[in-house]
Structure 1
Amino acid sequence: MRTPKQKILLALKIIVVTFITTIIAFFVFRNLLLKQEITRVSSKMERDYNCSFSIKNAVFVGLSGLKLSEIILVPKKADTLFKIHQLETSVSLIHLLVGEIQLGTLEINNGYVQLVKNKNGRNFQAFLKKDKDDKLYSEKRDYAKFVYRIISKVLNLVPTDMKIENLTFKLNDDGKKATINFQKLRLVNKQLETSIKVQTKNFTQRIRIQGFADPRNKVADIRFFNIDTGAIKMPYLDERFNLKSSFDSIRLNIQNIDKSGGELHIDGFASITNLMINHAKIANKDVVIKNARFDYRFLLGSDFISIDSSSTVQFNKVKFHPYLAYETEEDTIYKLKVAIPKMKAQDFISSLPDGLFTHFQGMEAEGDFEYKLDFNFNKNKPNQLVFDSKMKKNNLLITKYGEANLNKLNGEFVYRAIINNVLQRPVLIGSTNPNYTPIDQISLYLQKCVLTSEDPSFFSHRGFINEAFKQSIIKNIRTKKFSRGASTISMQLIKNVFLTREKTVSRKLEEILLVYILENNRIASKERMLEVYFNIIEWGPNIYGIGEAAQFYFQKKPADLTLKECLYLATIVPKPKKFMWQFDKEGKLKPFAKQQQKFLSTIMLRRAVLTPEDTIGFSNPLILTGVAHSLLNLKVKDSSAIDSLTVEEPFGL
């Protein structure tokens, strides 16, 4: 009988012998096994992806090396996906025995990878489909586990020593072409150095990537910069999306990737200098951020993904702490928090990106402020949306205005609307213009009607209506587009007097900041703002201001308008040039137009803005008696009507 100790020793001997036998068998038959594996992969490519995969020569070199030549993957009836002339690599045998592939070294000489999209389709289409049997897709997603698994697989495929020469990545998107040629790439002793040539239809440049990379310890510090003079231009984006972008240099630092306690932590920072972006939807000129840095801490758990609030974003002199989270524990919840610590107002103004806030150039301010934003959206409970924006000011004062001099509202000035980038005729906002109407000479009915339909809380809010803004966000999220705004009269006034009607990010951001400054520094009284608003808004084709509108529609002064006429004028404010479509061929209001006015009057009665006595005679038909009548599509032309609106003098300066 063997003792327990002898049994353990015997078991160890059997394991060692079995292991050695397996290793010997592997080395004896490894080339045969390699050919079988290549045949298996080739069959799978043809069966599952309708592709032809081949390797001309494949042999083992030394203990763990592998040398391949002429590796080609060609989708049927499509362009070659990749072709590598020669590839030599080594793998970790220990990881291979446990079913993992970890590259030790890698050498590639001459080859290309190309993605092609044309009238025949995409040569990579077959590889976009998800494998339903793949555990990565079939199991319930644990975000920390899933991402860590992907990161580990990717980093295991990054060799500790790498030498690549003349490897080209090609992109052809219906004739929009870009090539990135790695003329040289070295990773030796954890030091990375490259020489890359980028070529498109519009430019050619050389880029270098340098730095430190240690894939086994999951750390890196890499810099991208231009070998030649000038900025690094982003290829393909300009042709594909009309987005021009460039930068002087980028630095990417990964300090830690660690999974413990069911959570994944990713720490590091990224920085960029002289980032330039140009797109028609962003601004009408180049937007430049001189210096930006993001010190990040990503946290992932089984049911959440987040950017921790210890992260810091800094551009120029502005620094803030963001918190962003996506949670799926019970409901799907999106969270965003932004905290800007106390900073000088002038530092904030001078840090605004060039080209994005052109109307703030030259503005000067005193004092300081701090800001906090709290946003929470539950996809299953949208009406519980949280949007809380708070600014704490300390002796904040605008001492000098930039291009948008808000004090302009308090005096006489010339207003010229811009429609479709075309400057319209000048309209004088002041008593010198006979059509200009002071607020006390505008019918109270009209003031009440327009305020009710456009901005009921105008006299109490500070430029923004929080509840309307929340409802706007909810609808935009539901429709997945900007289908609803939350514009106040203050916002419309700023947009009309100081900005253009272009639909860009720049214009909207400027509008928000200018409204905040206007309303919170009491630059103009509410009464003055409303008076200017009534005298500049468009009321019809080439009709600006209520003085022109009252004459154009009813041959009256604004003070003499009836309730019914005021209800009509209030309902056409959103689309004044299409007023004629509210009337039928008899010159009478169509049912939908009558319903709009009835709806508005009902709201005003319910809010006690009107009394029942105000609506006496409301059933009388609305009749256009001014020039507007001649623009209606009537069955029989009124011979007394003016032919067309061609003379501007009665309504102009």
Structure 2
Amino acid sequence: MEISGLLNKRTGIIISGSVILILLLFLLLRGPVLRIYVAHKTKEAEARYSLVVSYDKLKMSGLAGIKITGLRIWPSNGDTLFSADYIRMEMNPLKLLFLTPDLRRLDADNIKINFVKIDSLSNFDFLFKTGNKPVSASRGSQTVVGRFNYARNTNNLLSLVLGALPANANISRLNIGYRNEPYSLSIDVPELKVQDDAFNTVITSVDDGLITVLSAEGILDDSERKITARLFARDGAKVSVPFLDFKWGAEVQFDTLAFELSASSRKSDKITLTGKAMAKGISVFHERISPVNVILEKGEFDYKINIGRNYLELDSSSTAIINNFSFSPYLRTEKNMEWKIVASVNKNDFEADELFSSLPKGLFYNLEGIRTEGRLNYHFYLNLDFSRIDSLKLESSLVPEKFRIISSGKTDLRKMNSDFEYSACENGYPVRSFIVGPVNSNFRTLDRISPYLQMAVLQSEDGGFFYHDGFLMESLREALAEDIKERKFRRGGSTISMQLVKNVFLSRNKTLARKFEEVMIVWLIETNRLSSKERMFEVYMNIIEWGPMVYGANEAARFYFDKDVKDININEAIFLASIIPSPKRSLNSFTADFQLKPGMEGYYKLLAQRLRIKGLISEQEEAGIKPEVKLAGEAKRQIQSREK
């Protein structure tokens, strides 16, 4: 027993002595070891990204502190990207012993981060350089591995953000700049203090001469994996978001932005983000969104986002609030060999005025101020697999219950029921105005328009016009699938109702606002029967463009055939229907000797078949229909002038 006790005592002494020796060696050699470690990492960065890293002094400060002065980083062929006069980092001594840095405190002075772009070259191109790890895929299992691991990448990004600032820090004179002549952006932070994970600071941005001052405050809690932040103007004015106007021609302003984010730990390649985002006084302008500023008084978003190895999912328990209207969206995007997107929104039995009183100003100009009563039920579903685009599923329905319009907004949606002035526009500007009604000598009621022309237009543009409620979801689905395959906007899937609303009520600016408002106005007119189908079709036939500065069916009959529209024959009717999608190119359908080009034959056969099915013509008449018309009037004279 005595021998055993002596051995245990001796072992304890040896272990204790070894630990003390290691600590002494660490204290004595930590400076050289640090410099060797930093030199190794610097060489790696220089070799991988063609960077140059230099500093005046690098040394240990205290037991586990690191002090750097005169630090500079720049690409070998570019301007300085990062510089700092002074940086002191206080590390966790135990983790530093094993070369796994854990930052406890940061003090820094005069940090400058400058992004410079000259022509196509920049000093930050290396940031977009991909790593050396390959991306492999298995077609049989439809899986993707490598860097496309969204849970891992999200976890790494969160760790980077949460670890960027320690629990305590004091950073003075921080400047972030971007220069791409003649544009320049400068963001100044005179002092950033972090105490027990909480930070607050004042930020001044100079965006191409526009000065904005705002306050920022929040918490970066690494241990709880939680981020909160709030941005707001100090002087009560709106905050302008920099860079967006220069890069995308967009202007975004706000009164207050705030968000909270909590992240779960990553388990089995899954991470969950929960939190809330809030915005007040948002103003957005972009010419592709709306010709005027879009105003959102308030918006909130309570979210739960599940992120896996190859997918991102917005849980259906999430709630979005736009002004006074709330809904719960679901969205899942999954990446195998191709993307797959599933989205849905279901909101049942809600007050109609919740929706209409919450429409953002600037998106629905004609409906601003509208008041409604009754209840609504909305359903939306999208399922898009990019490996099988034709299998796309699209559903959308807004079902009313005892719904009615109490008062119109800025525009009376019943204006088509009587005579009104119509303005034709080109490139967003009015080029001609005329009255739609009997006072106009070219106006024709339906009973004075050739039935051949009426049916040809219906079968060409919207065969179900008199039977649907303004929309044909299958046509919209097919158009969306084709646009996705072509990667450009080719088909719109518009019904006659949608074309009519676009022409009568909306500007010709191709914006998101116009499309949103078009859909809403069509729904209001069709659901409430504000105008009869017959009157809508009559207005349509009297205002649509049928050639260069040619509007309405009777003008078209005079322009091409020098006759009244009631006398149009079946061949002429099919031709007139064919040019509605591209009226300005109508004369290109003719040869120099005034004959229709051979390419029209297929269209004539298709329309003739549809007219026969509708009972308008017999099989014998169908067989005799050919792309042959006798051109006359102004159209013939213009072709003659073109050929001279």
Alpha-carbon distance change, 138 to 401 in structure 1, aligned in 2, over 3 angstroms: closer
Q: In the TM superposition, what whole-angstrom CA distance separates every residue of 1:381-403 from its partner, at most 9, and x where no partner exists?
A: 22222212132322110122123
- Structure-1 residue corresponding to 2:488: 481
Structure 2 residue matching 1:417: 3-state secondary structure: strand
Alpha-carbon distance change, 444 to 164 in structure 1, aligned in 2, over 3 angstroms: same
Listed as ranges, the matches of 1:57-76 within 5 Å are 57-76=57-76
**Counterpart code for 2:213:** R
**Counterpart code for 2:71:** I
- Structure-1 residue corresponding to 2:39: 39
Shift of 1:29: 1.0
C-alpha distance in 1 between matches for 2:106 and 2:336: 42
| Stretch moving more, 165-174 or 212-221 | 212-221
- Structure-1 residue corresponding to 2:141: none
Alpha-carbon distance change, 584 to 105 in structure 1, aligned in 2, over 3 angstroms: same
| Partners of 2:165 and 2:220 within 8 A in 1 | no
Q: In the TM superposition, what whole-angstrom CA distance separates every residue of 1:551-582 from its partner, at most 9, and x where no partner exists?
A: 22112222211110001101111111222111
Listed as ranges, the matches of 1:81-480 within 5 Å are 81-96=81-96, 100-119=100-119, 121-133=121-133, 139=146, 141-260=148-267, 262-328=269-335, 332-480=339-487
Q: In the TM superposition, what whole-angstrom CA distance separates every residue of 1:7-52 from its partner, at most 9, and x where no partner exists?
A: 9999988776655544332221111112222322333333222222
Aligned partner of 2:634 among 627, 630, 648: 627
TM normalised by structure 1 equals: 0.91
**Counterpart code for 1:367:** G
Does residue 577 of the first structure (1) align with residue 584 of the second (2)?
yes
- Structure-2 residue corresponding to 1:641: none
Q: In the TM superposition, what whole-angstrom CA distance separates every residue of 1:118-156 from its partner, at most 9, and x where no partner exists?
A: 126111112321121389997364433442233234423
**Counterpart code for 2:175:** T
Aligned partner of 1:589 among 590, 596, 603: 596
Structure 1 residue matching 2:401: 3-state secondary structure: strand
Structure 2 residue matching 1:424: 3-state secondary structure: strand
C-alpha distance in 1 between matches for 2:439 and 2:468: 32
C-alpha distance in 2 between matches for 1:474 and 1:377: 9
Task: State the 4+ residue runs in structure 1 displaced beyond 6 angstroms.
Answer: 1-16, 134-138, 634-637
**Counterpart code for 1:263:** K
C-alpha distance in 2 between matches for 1:632 and 1:255: 69
Alpha-carbon distance change, 198 to 553 in structure 1, aligned in 2, over 3 angstroms: same
| Partners of 2:236 and 2:255 within 8 A in 1 | no
RMSD (Å) for aligned C-alpha atoms: 2.8
| Stretch moving more, 110-119 or 220-229 | 220-229
**Counterpart code for 2:477:** K
- Structure-1 residue corresponding to 2:557: 550
Alpha-carbon distance change, 328 to 99 in structure 1, aligned in 2, over 3 angstroms: farther
C-alpha distance in 1 between matches for 2:359 and 2:632: 51
Alpha-carbon distance change, 183 to 395 in structure 1, aligned in 2, over 3 angstroms: same
Q: In the TM superposition, what whole-angstrom CA distance separates every residue of 1:301-332 from its partner, at most 9, and x where no partner exists?
A: 33421111111110110101011111247974
- Structure-1 residue corresponding to 2:54: 54
C-alpha distance in 2 between matches for 1:576 and 1:4: 105
C-alpha distance in 2 between matches for 1:267 and 1:391: 30
Structure 2 residue matching 1:485: 3-state secondary structure: coil
Alpha-carbon distance change, 306 to 635 in structure 1, aligned in 2, over 3 angstroms: closer
Structure 1 residue matching 2:257: 3-state secondary structure: strand
| Partners of 2:52 and 2:75 within 8 A in 1 | yes
| Partners of 1:319 and 1:341 within 8 A in 2 | no
Aligned length: 637
C-alpha distance in 2 between matches for 1:331 and 1:607: 43
**Counterpart code for 1:27:** L
| Partners of 1:158 and 1:215 within 8 A in 2 | no
C-alpha distance in 2 between matches for 1:271 and 1:83: 35
Shift of 1:95: 3.9
| Stretch moving more, 423-432 or 136-145 | 136-145
Q: In the TM superposition, what whole-angstrom CA distance separates every residue of 1:56-92 from its partner, at most 9, and x where no partner exists?
A: 1111112211111111012223111111110011122
- Structure-2 residue corresponding to 1:24: 24
C-alpha distance in 2 between matches for 1:271 and 1:285: 23
C-alpha distance in 1 between matches for 2:165 and 2:308: 26
C-alpha distance in 2 between matches for 1:4 and 1:264: 52
Shift of 1:234: 0.8
Structure 1 residue matching 2:432: 3-state secondary structure: coil
Structure 1 residue matching 2:355: 3-state secondary structure: helix
C-alpha distance in 2 between matches for 1:216 and 1:504: 46
C-alpha distance in 1 between matches for 2:421 and 2:638: 28
Alpha-carbon distance change, 112 to 360 in structure 1, aligned in 2, over 3 angstroms: same
Shift of 1:97: 5.3
Structure 2 residue matching 1:309: 3-state secondary structure: coil
Unaligned runs of 5+ in 1: 638-653
| Stretch moving more, 508-517 or 591-600 | 591-600
| Partners of 1:156 and 1:216 within 8 A in 2 | no
C-alpha distance in 2 between matches for 1:274 and 1:219: 26
Shift of 1:547: 1.3
**Counterpart code for 1:431:** P
- Structure-1 residue corresponding to 2:139: none
**Counterpart code for 1:89:** M
| Partners of 2:88 and 2:107 within 8 A in 1 | yes
Q: In the TM superposition, what whole-angstrom CA distance separates every residue of 1:257-303 from its partner, at most 9, and x where no partner exists?
A: 34446531211101011011111111111111011111111112334
- Structure-2 residue corresponding to 1:646: none
**Counterpart code for 2:28:** V
**Counterpart code for 1:132:** N
- Structure-1 residue corresponding to 2:140: none
C-alpha distance in 1 between matches for 2:485 and 2:21: 64
C-alpha distance in 2 between matches for 1:411 and 1:627: 31
C-alpha distance in 1 between matches for 2:355 and 2:231: 28
Shift of 1:622: 1.4
TM normalised by structure 2 equals: 0.92
Structure 2 residue matching 1:286: 3-state secondary structure: strand
**Counterpart code for 1:426:** S
Does residue 505 of the first structure (1) align with residue 520 of the second (2)?
no
Alpha-carbon distance change, 635 to 392 in structure 1, aligned in 2, over 3 angstroms: closer
